[in-house]
Amino acid sequence: MPEMIVGKSATKYDAFAKVIGEAQYIQDLTQPRMLWGKILRSSLPHARILNIDTSKAEKLLGVKAVLTAKDLPGRRIGFGNDNEVLKRNKVRCVGDEIAAVAAVDEATAIEAMSLIKVEFEPLTAVFDPELAMAENCNVLVHESRGSNLSLEYHFETDEAALAASLDQAAVVLEDRFTLPFVTSSAMATHGCMALYRNGELTIWTPTQVPFLYQHELMMATGIPGNRIRVIQPTIGGGFGAKLDMYPYEAACVHLSMVTGLPVKIVFTREEEFQASRPRQPMIIDLVTAADRDGHLLARKAKVICDNGAYNSWGSTTPFVGMQTISSLYRVPNVRYDAQIVYTNNPYSGAMRGYGNPQHTFAVESHMDMLAAKLGMDPLTVRLINANQSGDVTPQKMKITSCAFSETLREAGKELGSLPSEPGKLRGKGIAGLLHVGGGARVYRSDGCGAVVKLDDMGRAVLLTGATDMGQGSDTILTQIVAEVLGLEIKDVKVINNDTNLTPWDVGSHASRTTFIAGNAAKIAAEKVRSQLITAAAQILNANPDQLLLRNKRIMVEDAPERFVDIGKIVRSLHFKQDGKLLVGEAFYDPPTEMQDNQFLGNVSAAYAFGAHGVEVEVDRATGVVKVLKVAAAHDVGKAINPLAIQGQIEGGCAMGLGYALSEEMKLREGRVINANFLDYRLLTAVDIPEIEGIIVESDEQEGPFGAKGIGEACCIPTGAAVANAVYAATGVRIKELPITPAKVLEGLNKMRSTFDT
């Protein structure tokens, strides 16, 4: 039966509220008698706290509370419990939370902060992860740990076979790739509003993971989880930075507990740069070995990740990066080692791609370098190694649907090398990607709950755990429910932002929402559907197998004049003896497994593949790289909403181009010195070239209507594709992002001097 709604572009569920300015973000929420909270942050990267004098701040008119560590229960927070809500004895990075203030207005809270006197004993700090791991390093970020190593990851296939393959290889490449700090820069900064009343906490916060957040807040504050209600306002972008429960949020809760009033804290843009979680910088030493025909024989990676001062999600990103090393292209022998190293830098979290943009930059640069070494075409060397449907990778990931080869062909197809102007060099490059596309079992559950209720007027309401942070999952879910129930999209409403109402979900991460929440919504709607059909079969005196749901009606397939309105069926079930409600519920947890301690296991029910093709023009005199075009082909399984996918692809590519060319959070002694949009360069409307999104469908059997996740995939290979295009244009191989004019010029000059001598 052809689908009526799924597969067709639909406008965004919440777009109307957003274009008239009525969508309420955390910045817009208020409560009667609400206080403004502010956090006093450390200006030093590493220092002992000797004394905090809050007496002057407390006396300021309008100040309702000033809290420091001594006022708090002292619970440890964060992954590995290495962090505190307010720091008691020591600060470990610039921006560390020292005191929290609540006052009648923002200006008073800011003034109160300036009146708090902190006596520090500055300590020597370490900002370079390699120095932090050196034997002679005498700086310990966390003394009790005895070293600056936070975590290690190790995966390997058979050691002897790996060694043998390196011996046999016709080509062995060995290079170091370096990736900078970049940050999500969601247009809406972080913020929360807490109200503690009668033993119950309500917190409004733009978290991507409301139920995990509830748990973390319980651990941080000691408030029982069943007394915590999390409400998400409209979320002004997440990209991973809103996966954490931040120390300021627990501090805000304490301010509300102490004052008995609602308290709101909103980050300034400068705070957002310094104190929200950036993407993890990495140093990747990569070895790639291949035979003389270009078949990959082995890959080895040694990765050093700058964790910053504490563990956030960044410390777990090698879990994803490892999959790129082991499983992007067919490679039989693999070894992967990563070290997560504490420094006195800001601490790294999750950002779209979760370690994958970094690792893909290294792997896909090497694929091009391999092609150059063998005198092969970059596309050919990829195609002969490309993953195929049915493959099981060295980490035991089972590739189901896979249109990788097709995306590689499509991405490069339209890019022609036009004749260059004098002084300009043109070139094109491609790069591929592999990412989870069917959830990711990083917890024992990868589940999402959904409830669909159908009212007597034929209005369906979906209660889902899934969080829409702007990407458009609400729209996708309404399409799925409308499709199953034969309704219009406008007949389906979504409630998804209140833990008191919504069923449990792991959260919006790992590009899992369309796949996981989509399946949950579909199954719940199907349960309503089968009840509807049973009732309609009686009313129409027809066989249930003959019935069709279309246009808010149930009709007999070969006799469409025999129909009954869906609303009428629902009413007939309400207005009768022993009547019933039409409600369907589902909990979808995909058929996957957690990886074991050897990092083996099929973590995702489906994998997303894709490739980006980029054409650039390089100015020989200035080194400036101009991207002329991006062609981004993605294997999405099935496109539920092509317009929404186009939006994801264009946005992902723009983020990838920023990573490639312009974005870098610059640190001096742990302080972000470009903590504003003039100096941290997001690409603007003028900088972005034409981006062609190419949707490739592969019909994933486990996905809802065949769909796979796409959210993160579309920003992953862009950086490598740009670097490859710059090489094709100039012969300069850049192994360190961002690709600044200075680096290109340096490369051009080196080549010139080589020619001269």
Residue 11 or 551: the one with the smaller Cβ distance to another protein is: 11
The answer to the question of residue 12 lying near another protein (CB under 8 A) is: yes
Binding mask 115-154 for another protein (x = CB under 8 A): ----------------------------------------
Binding mask 264-293 for another protein (x = CB under 8 A): ----xx------------------------
The answer to the question of residue 210 lying near another protein (CB under 8 A) is: no
Residue 184 or 324: the one with the smaller Cβ distance to another protein is: 184
Residue 594 or 688: the one with the smaller Cβ distance to another protein is: 688
Q: How far is CA 660 from CA 614, 625, 650, 672, in A?
A: 11, 10, 15, 20
* Shortest Cβ 357–another protein spacing (Å): 15
Question: What order of strands is seen across the sheet that includes strand 200-204?
Answer: 63-68, 97-103, 35-41, 263-266, 191-197, 200-204, 228-231
Binding range to another protein, per CB under 8 A, among 15-23, 197-205, 368-376, 404-412? 15-23
Binding mask 610-649 for another protein (x = CB under 8 A): ---------------------------------xx-xx--
* Shortest Cβ 685–another protein spacing (Å): 4
* Shortest Cβ 66–another protein spacing (Å): 24
Of these, 217, 415, 466, 653, which contacts another protein (CB under 8 A)?
653
- Distance, CA of 277 to CA of 100 (rounded, Å): 20
Q: E strands of 580-666, at which residues?
A: 582-588, 607-619, 625-637
- Distance, CA of 483 to CA of 478 (rounded, Å): 8
* Shortest Cβ 30–another protein spacing (Å): 9
* Shortest Cβ 677–another protein spacing (Å): 4
Q: What share of the chain is helix, strand, coil (3-state, %, to 5)?
A: 30, 25, 40
Tell me the residue type at 266. Answer: V
* Shortest Cβ 128–another protein spacing (Å): 29
Residue 66 or 695: the one with the smaller Cβ distance to another protein is: 695
Locus of tokens 């191989």: 733
Crossing angle of the two packed helices 741-756 and 718-730, in degrees rounded to 10: 30
Residue 18 or 56: the one with the smaller Cβ distance to another protein is: 18
* Shortest Cβ 27–another protein spacing (Å): 6
Polymer length in residues for the chain: 757
> What SS3 state is found at 753?
helix
- Distance, CA of 252 to CA of 205 (rounded, Å): 11
- Distance, CA of 687 to CA of 695 (rounded, Å): 24
The site for another protein, by CB under 8 A, has a size of: 54
Residue 108 or 646: the one with the smaller Cβ distance to another protein is: 646
Closest CA to 626 of 689, 718, 717: 689
Site residues for another protein, window 675-694 (CB under 8 A)? Answer: 676-678, 682, 684-686, 688, 690-691
The answer to the question of residue 114 lying near another protein (CB under 8 A) is: no
- Distance, CA of 450 to CA of 465 (rounded, Å): 7
* Shortest Cβ 266–another protein spacing (Å): 8
Residue 691 or 723: the one with the smaller Cβ distance to another protein is: 691
* Shortest Cβ 270–another protein spacing (Å): 9
Residues 331 and 299 sit within 8 Å (Cβ to Cβ): yes
Locus of tokens 């796949």: 515
- Distance, CA of 570 to CA of 553 (rounded, Å): 11
Q: 135: which residues sit within 8 A by CB, 6+ positions away?
A: none
- Distance, CA of 134 to CA of 148 (rounded, Å): 9
Residue 186 or 748: the one with the smaller Cβ distance to another protein is: 186
Q: 130: which residues sit within 8 A by CB, 6+ positions away?
A: 283, 304
As a dihedral over the C-alpha atoms of residue 382, residue 384, residue 386, residue 389, rounded to 10 degrees, the angle is: 160
Residue 157 or 189: the one with the smaller Cβ distance to another protein is: 189
Residue 622 or 676: the one with the smaller Cβ distance to another protein is: 676
Residue 30 or 81: the one with the smaller Cβ distance to another protein is: 30
Residue 9 or 178: the one with the smaller Cβ distance to another protein is: 9
The answer to the question of residue 9 lying near another protein (CB under 8 A) is: yes
Q: Indicate left, alpha or beta for 186 from its phi (over 0: left) and psi (-120 to 50: alpha).
A: beta
Residue 188 or 484: the one with the smaller Cβ distance to another protein is: 188
* Shortest Cβ 209–another protein spacing (Å): 17
Q: Indicate left, alpha or beta for 585 from its phi (over 0: left) and psi (-120 to 50: alpha).
A: beta
- Distance, CA of 185 to CA of 351 (rounded, Å): 10
DSSP classification of residue 622:
T
Site residues for another protein, window 172-191 (CB under 8 A)? Answer: 184-189
The answer to the question of residue 414 lying near another protein (CB under 8 A) is: no
Q: E strands of 502-623, at which residues?
A: 547-550, 553-556, 559-565, 582-588, 607-619
Residue 355 or 472: the one with the smaller Cβ distance to another protein is: 472
The answer to the question of residue 32 lying near another protein (CB under 8 A) is: no
- Distance, CA of 472 to CA of 461 (rounded, Å): 17
Site residues for another protein, window 481-500 (CB under 8 A)? Answer: none
Site residues for another protein, window 225-244 (CB under 8 A)? Answer: 234-237, 239
Site residues for another protein, window 458-477 (CB under 8 A)? Answer: 469-472
The answer to the question of residue 262 lying near another protein (CB under 8 A) is: no
Which pair of tokens denotes residue 20?
């008239």
Closest CA to 454 of 528, 518, 521: 528
Q: Which stretches of the chain bind another protein, using CB under 8 A?
A: 9, 11-12, 14-25, 27-28, 184-189, 234-237, 239, 268-269, 469-472, 643-644, 646-647, 650-655, 676-678, 682, 684-686, 688, 690-691
